[in-house]
Amino acid sequence: MKAVVFDLDGTLVDSAGDLQAAANRLMRQNGLPELDLATVTCFIGNGIARLVERCFAHSGSLPDDLPDQVARFKLYYAAEEHRRTGFMPGAETALRRLAASDMALGLCTNKDTQPARAILNRLRIEGLFRAVVGGDSGLAQKPDASPLLACVALCGVPPAEAVYVGDSATDAATAEVAGLPFLLYTEGYRRGPLVTMKHAAAFSHFANLPNVIRGLPHAHPAD
């Protein structure tokens, strides 16, 4: 493998606290009860619009001005400045080890590109990534294969030499339709049992990731 593409939320970083803060500010403004962290965490994974939709649905009904509410959420989320967002255990060390071994690193997320890059910059790892493809890239969002394949292309390697790392059923489905091996991080925001998510390997701590990648077959499974 010559490139590793990562999901962001629930994989490399725990961002649920900032997302909850923005969600609850939006709920309060609409006269709705606040949501606990576990509830908001369950809503993460398909982009901000779906998260906001799920928050309102959980609280009773969808507003008529949902697009405006999504835009407001994005402003509130930016105002949090990602101050509660941090690495998953061992993720930073694993990223630096992979980059030092000349592995091309990419990021493929349904989060908009600007906040995704803001998180990378705040955590001082933006320079490690050769490619960042966000949910506002103009391509279909995950689980469509197009953003993942575009990210691999920007990394400068063929799909047969890339692997995708994520934490969710959406990530597993994205890798499958793109034809890439999927490595499942088991301690993220996953909903549902591991057996329901097709994966080449699973790992519970990022300290194990470089070894897991080295253990993958040299040839792509589809070859």
Active site residue 223: no
How many Cα atoms within 13 Å fall on the side-chain side of residue 214?
9
Question: How far is residue 123's CA from residue 167's CA, in Å, rounded to a whole number?
Answer: 20
Measured CA to CA, the distance from residue 55 to residue 30 in angstroms comes to: 12
Q: Are 111 and 48 in contact (CB under 8 A)?
A: yes
| 169 half-sphere exposure, CB direction, 13 A CA radius | 9
| DSSP 8-class letter at 141 | P
Tell me which of 7, 18, 167, 171 is the catalytic residue. Answer: 7
Active site residues: 7
